[in-house]
Each structure stands twice: as C-alpha cells, then as structure tokens.
C-alpha cells in the first residue's frame, strides 16, 4: 500500500461545526495553520502598499542579486557531472517467482481430523486430492501465489554482465532489467554466492555503459560517496554521504567486510552502486541497520574489490571457490596478549587445528598466533578468514606465526574450502537450474493400475500420466490437463515418467511438441515457453 497525498481544502466558515479532531484532522489543522499564516503576511503587505500609495510614495521594490550564468558544475558545487556519467550503469532489477505448490505439512488446518473424516484418506494432498495432484503420494500441498520483487544492479561489462545482490534474485523464475534509456530486457542468472550476498546476471546486449571499478582498499573514513539505486521502485535516486566506517561485520554472513556509509539507502537500493566523487564503483549497496525498517543513517556496501573477485569466479565457473587451511581461531584480547607474550592485540589465535588439514601439515600448532598470511598482515580472525578465502587452492603461501615470544614463517599449501555438511544448493542457482528444462509446472507419474482405473485409460496406451499442471504455466495455456497421457515429446516416444523428464532436460528449443491421449482422443499440443511469463 501507499499513502495517497491529501489535497489541501479551503478553510471552512467559522459557523461550521468541526468534528472531534483525530490524527487526520490534526494533520489538516496544521496545514491550514500554514495557509492562514501566509494569508496574514499577504494582508500585511497589501496594507503597507495601500498606505504607501495613499501617502504619495512610489511602489516599493525588492533588490535581489541575480547571476544569469549557467550553474557551476565543479566537483565542489555539484555532483551532476558524476551522475550523468554513472546513472546509465545503474539499473532496476525486477524479479518474479511464479505461483507454485509448496508442502503444507506444517499447516495445522490440514491436520484437523474433522476435515480428514469429511474428505477421506484421499482428500487433502492424497491421491486425487485437490492439493496433492491425482497421484501426489499423500504429501499435502498448498498454492503459493506469484511473488514479485524489486532491486538494483550495476552494469559491469559492455556485453551485458550485471552484478547485484544474491538476496535480490534468490528463487526468481523470471528476471528483467530496466535501463535508464527505457529498455527492458530479460536476464538470466549466471551465478550467486549467498555467503557474500553477491550475484551476477546477464542480458543479451552489447555496447552497454559499464561502470569503472575503483580500488576499494584505498577508501578512508570521511571520503565522500554517492549511493545510486531504485528505492521503493519510485525511479532512480541518488543520495550523498561519506564513508562512516570500514571493515564492518554485522549481518551474520560468512564473508563480511562492509563499507559503512551515511548516504541514504532504502529498500530497493539493494544491488545498487556506491561510487566515489569520480564516478567509480567503490561498493555494492546491500543492507541497512534500522530499528524502523527505514533509513536511519547506517548503510552497508560490499567493497568493490571483493565484488570483483567473486564476480569473476561466478562468470568463469558459475560458483565461488575459496581457500581453506583447516583452523579455528580467536581474536587476541589484552589477556591473551599477556598470556602469549605478545606486544599488541593483533593476529588470529589458533584454537583448533583440523586433523590432516593444510595448517596441520604445514606445522601450525594450537596456541600459535597467525600475524601474516601470503604477505598480508592479519589484524584479527575475520581478516584471516577473508584473506584465506581469496587465496587460490593449491598455491603455497608464507604464513607468519608468533610462537613462544618468537616469530617464524611456515610454508602452507592452501586447500579448497569443503562444502558444509548439510549445505543446500544455492536457491538462486537452483531456481535457474529449473529453467533449464521445458514443461515447467507439469508433474508426471507412471501409468499404474490405479491410474488406469481412475481415468479409464485402455491397456494399449503407453506413456506418462500428467498429474499436475500449474494454472499460470505455458502448458496450461496450451490445454494440457491432469489426466492427459503424454505419448510423445518432440516426436520421441514416451513409455514412462522417467522418459518424459529425460526428454525435457537441456532442450534445444523452448518450444515442445507433445502427442497426448485423453478420453476425447489423441492429439498434438504445442507448448511455447520462449516468452518470459
């Protein structure tokens, strides 16, 4: 919802009865007070003018200074030249997650025994039930309506690569990009990295206005920055501020090194650009810290250097590979510094070493303090984690270690960060994977004896039974319905549900020709999924 601005009304006559003032009336009263005050000033000016003419004086005039020269466009007076340069590189990202059936086993509504008694064992979610499909195997389902979202993105290459936040595109079935020149193009997901909240999408275009990256390691607190994005979907908006802090870790992501800024960032700015006064990208706007949900002066952006490294891996491999050394560390407190004979509270204290890991093989021990990794100083445990993650698996690097009051250097061969046990596939990438096949929103099963009796399917019919068709899918528009039997897909025979799935994976075209059977006979159905839906 949005608030519709109220129209100022003229003051009511003094004889009118005023309602009891509530919040709305108080608002109008304040507005009216402003109008009345202006009227009093105007009346005073008019009285002065009439009196002046009556006294034979000339009409008064106001002497003001006017400079007719064009507005100055220097860095100190205006950001307009920077905005003209950068604005075309910042885009609006619109995402849609199609309506679909989702498991509803946690909904107590479906567990009501009275409903089960009424609908019977094949009611909610059961075979033939309204939520599980004709042969849903008893899993209760409920319909999730279509979901729409909005974010921002930054064009990073002339041939169509765009960086945004992972949370903007997670679960999206359709991604569209709206440019400053009015164009709106469909985009595909190249890869997403939820651990850093970055993603790369691509549009089929050339000659796009790609932004220039800055070296974000050179940022200092107090540097002026501009945030550009599409807050609340109102259109491209620019806000100014400065770098308020560096190296922030506040959102609970696995890899955080945020730039903090007081430039206003609001919902819809996610994935937009944080640029310096030269128009170079220094960060990707990601989040705000707020008690109200709106801007309160604390926004965060992923540094351009981190963005660049992750983006390059996503483009090259579709995923991010990180370094690994196999240690658990703690930050150095003053008490630890005293106990471990350190002259400052910098470094990462090794609390545990993973058996047979790279660190153990290199000779690191519990109680060592890592002060340098690959020629880079290590300030704390977070700095070590980020530095190790950026290391290339397989390379050998020097590790500076403080041990028993002395410093020594060990040679360590970096490993590859293993997948976390139980870690699920990235939902954003998984959503893209579902779009690789055709017949989206269609469920199939083998032709069992029960199915043949339910739909009166002759024994001579061989194929895959359609158990579910999403109402908003291209297949539904083409006329496919539950109970149809798919005999062929693209002129290839179908003998089972497995055949149907195999023939719709990695298709050469998004147009699918089906031969189906139902009680009305055998006919061809053409399903066209080339258009974004």
Catalytic (active-site) positions: 167, 197, 270
Q: Where would I find the H helices in 341-439?
A: 358-362, 381-390, 427-434
In angstroms, the CA 373 to CA 85 distance is 39
Q: Residue 377: CB partners within 8 Å, gap ≥ 6?
A: 346, 371
User: Which two structure tokens, joined as six digits, stand for 376?
Assistant: 């880079």
Q: Three-state SS for 363?
A: coil
In angstroms, the CA 497 to CA 485 distance is 10
CA torsion sign, 436 to 439 to 443 to 447?
negative
DSSP string for residues in 206-259: SS--PPEE--GGG--TT-EEEEEE-GGGS--EEEEEEEEEEEE--S--SS--EE
Tokens 């998004």 -> residue: 510
In angstroms, the CA 233 to CA 240 distance is 19
In angstroms, the CA 443 to CA 447 distance is 13
* Residue 329 near residue 350, CB atoms below 8 Å: yes
In angstroms, the CA 335 to CA 333 distance is 5
Instruction: Name beta bridge partners: 365.
Output: none
């Amino acid at each position: 919802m949005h608030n519709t601005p109220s129209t100022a009304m003229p003051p009511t006559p003094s004889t009118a009865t005023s309602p009891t003032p509530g919040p709305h009336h108080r608002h109008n009263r304040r507005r009216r007070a402003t109008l009345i005050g202006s009227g009093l000033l105007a009346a005073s000016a008019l009285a002065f003018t009439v009196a002046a003419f009556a006294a034979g004086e000339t009409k008064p005039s106001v002497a003001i200074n006017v400079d007719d020269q064009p507005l100055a466009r220097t860095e100190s007076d205006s950001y307009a030249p920077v905005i003209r340069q950068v604005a075309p590189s910042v885009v609006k990202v619109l995402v849609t997650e199609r309506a679909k059936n989702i498991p509803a086993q946690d909904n107590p509504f479906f567990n009501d025994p009275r409903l089960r008694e009424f609908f019977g064992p094949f009611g909610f979610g059961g075979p033939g039930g309204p939520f599980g499909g004709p042969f849903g195997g008893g899993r209760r389902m409920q319909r999730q309506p279509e979901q729409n979202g909005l974010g921002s993105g930054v064009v990073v290459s002339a041939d169509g690569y765009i960086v945004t936040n992972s949370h903007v595109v997670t679960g999206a079935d359709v991604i569209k990009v709206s440019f400053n020149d009015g164009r709106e193009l469909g985009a595909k997901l190249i890869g997403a990295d939820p651990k850093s909240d970055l993603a790369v999408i691509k549009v089929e275009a050339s000659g796009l206005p790609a932004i220039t990256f800055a070296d974000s390691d050179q940022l200092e607190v107090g540097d002026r920055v501009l945030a550009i994005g599409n807050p609340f979907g109102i259109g491209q908006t620019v806000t100014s501020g400065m770098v308020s802090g560096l190296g922030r870790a506040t959102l609970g992501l696995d890899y955080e090194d945020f730039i903090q800024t007081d430039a206003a960032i609001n919902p819809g700015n996610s994935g937009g650009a944080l640029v310096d006064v030269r128009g170079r990208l220094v960060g990707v706007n990601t989040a705000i810290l707020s008690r109200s949900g709106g801007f309160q002066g604390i926004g965060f952006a992923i540094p351009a250097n981190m963005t660049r490294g992750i983006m390059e891996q996503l483009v090259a491999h579709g995923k991010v590979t990180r370094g690994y050394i196999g240690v658990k560390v703690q930050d150095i407190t003053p008490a630890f510094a005293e106990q471990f004979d350190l002259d400052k509270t910098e470094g990462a204290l090794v609390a545990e070493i993973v058996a047979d890991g790279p660190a153990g093989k290199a000779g690191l021990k519990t109680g060592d303090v890592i002060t340098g990794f690959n020629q880079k100083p290590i300030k704390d445990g977070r700095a070590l984690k980020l530095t190790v993650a950026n290391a290339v698996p397989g390379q050998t690097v020097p590790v500076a270690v403080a041990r028993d009051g002395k410093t020594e250097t060990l040679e360590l061969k970096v490993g590859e960060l293993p997948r976390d046990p139980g870690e699920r596939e990235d939902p954003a990438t998984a959503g893209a994977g579902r779009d690789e096949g055709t017949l989206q929103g269609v469920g199939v099963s083998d032709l069992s004896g029960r199915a043949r009796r339910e739909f009166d399917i002759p024994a001579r019919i061989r194929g895959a039974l359609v158990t579910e068709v999403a109402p908003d899918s291209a297949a539904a528009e083409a006329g496919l319905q539950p109970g149809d039997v798919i005999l062929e897909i693209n002129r290839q025979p179908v003998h089972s549900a497995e055949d149907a799935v195999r023939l719709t994976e990695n298709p050469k075209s998004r147009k699918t020709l089906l031969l189906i059977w139902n009680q009305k006979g055998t006919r061809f159905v053409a399903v066209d999924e080339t258009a974004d839906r």
